[in-house]
């Protein structure tokens, strides 16, 4: 029994030692926090939490965990801060006042991380635990207004993009219509040209069938000119032949030598 008492005293002293050490870390962390040395403050708050975990007692190290979340929040480590505040807010061991503060800070970490809907939900939970918290009520109204503006901006951008898309579609349609008109005109011009050529060919063919020669092209002889040239050539040839014929017909006198 005596030994049991001694052991109990040692355990009690150890517990008190751990508790005192944890409080020293929290105090040092608070001093650093006030100096805005949030990284060093975070390190000391973590040591305080570790001390508590190594010597668990009834309840949790609320101050150490809460201040650790605040130090993370100040460093813009919003995801890590939310993890701390969510853990505190979800613990059944904490009072409504502690939960309200945790939800308030959780809402702040969401809003600063541009997660407005999640922040609004956290503020509402904070007010459920402490309806008289005017600061939370103000933050809730602020987040709701910001969300409204965000949604309106998204709607305006969507409408603007839709209008631009409609304009682009109209421009593309107008361009296609104009291209089609241009192509149709080219096709029609080509058809008209082909028709004109065909009509001219038909006219030339009809003239030929009617005994009318088509108008000679520059640099070529007409049929009449060619016939005249042929007639002239025939006449010249006839005249030449007549001359030769007459010459042969007259002949020449030949002296015949007497054969002695």
Total residues belonging to the chain: 260
Task: Determine the Cα–Cα distance for residues 216 and 90; give it in Å rounded to an integer.
Answer: 109
Q: Is residue 56 included in any domain, yes or no?
A: yes
Q: Is residue 90 included in any domain, yes or no?
A: no
Q: Reply yes or no on whether the pLDDT at 86 is more than 60.
A: yes
Q: Is residue 31 included in any domain, yes or no?
A: yes
Q: Which residues contact 215 (CB under 8 A, 6 or more apart)?
A: none
Q: Is residue 66 included in any domain, yes or no?
A: yes
pLDDT of residue 15: 43
Least confident segment among 6-10, 148-152, 220-224: 6-10
Bigger pLDDT: 23 vs 220: 23
Task: Determine the Cα–Cα distance for residues 123 and 141; give it in Å rounded to an integer.
Answer: 10
Structural domain total, the chain:
1
Q: Which domain holds residue 50?
A: 16-75
Helix count and strand count (H, E) for the chain: 8, 0
Bigger pLDDT: 210 vs 72: 72
Q: Is residue 141 included in any domain, yes or no?
A: no
Q: Is residue 146 included in any domain, yes or no?
A: no
Tokens of 227: 């016939």
Q: Is residue 26 included in any domain, yes or no?
A: yes
Q: Is residue 57 included in any domain, yes or no?
A: yes
User: What crossing angle do the helices spanning 78-89 and 96-112 adopt, rounded to 10°?
Assistant: 160
Bigger pLDDT: 185 vs 77: 77
Q: Note the pTM of the prediction, 2 decimals.
A: 0.57
80: closest CA among 136, 118, 42? Answer: 42
pLDDT in tens, 12-50: 344 444 457 778 999 999 999 999 999 999 999 999 988
């Amino acid at each position: 029994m005596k030994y049991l008492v001694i052991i109990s005293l040692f355990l009690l002293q150890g517990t008190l030692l751990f508790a005192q050490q944890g409080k020293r870390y929290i105090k040092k962390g608070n001093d650093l926090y006030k100096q805005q040395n949030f990284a060093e403050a975070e390190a000391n708050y973590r040591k305080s939490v570790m001390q508590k975990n190594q010597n668990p007692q009834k309840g949790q190290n609320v101050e150490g965990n809460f201040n650790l979340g605040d130090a993370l929040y100040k460093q813009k480590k919003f995801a890590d801060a939310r993890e701390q505040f969510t853990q505190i807010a979800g613990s059944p061991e904490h009072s409504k006042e502690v939960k309200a503060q945790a939800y308030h800070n959780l809402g702040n970490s969401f809003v600063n991380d541009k997660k407005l809907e999640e922040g609004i939900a956290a503020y509402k939970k904070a007010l459920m635990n402490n309806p008289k918290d005017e600061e939370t009520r103000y933050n809730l109204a602020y987040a709701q207004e910001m969300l409204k503006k965000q949604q309106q901006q998204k709607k305006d951008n969507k409408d603007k993009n839709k209008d631009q898309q409609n304009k682009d579609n109209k421009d593309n349609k107008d361009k296609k219509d104009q291209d089609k008109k241009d192509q149709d005109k080219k096709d029609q011009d080509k058809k008209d040209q082909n028709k004109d050529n065909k009509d001219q060919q038909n006219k030339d063919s009809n003239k030929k069938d009617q005994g009318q020669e088509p108008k000679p092209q520059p640099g070529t002889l007409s049929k009449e000119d060619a016939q005249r040239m042929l007639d002239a050539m025939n006449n010249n040839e006839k005249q030449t032949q007549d001359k030769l014929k007459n010459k042969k017909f007259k002949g020449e006198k030949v002296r015949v030598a007497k054969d002695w």
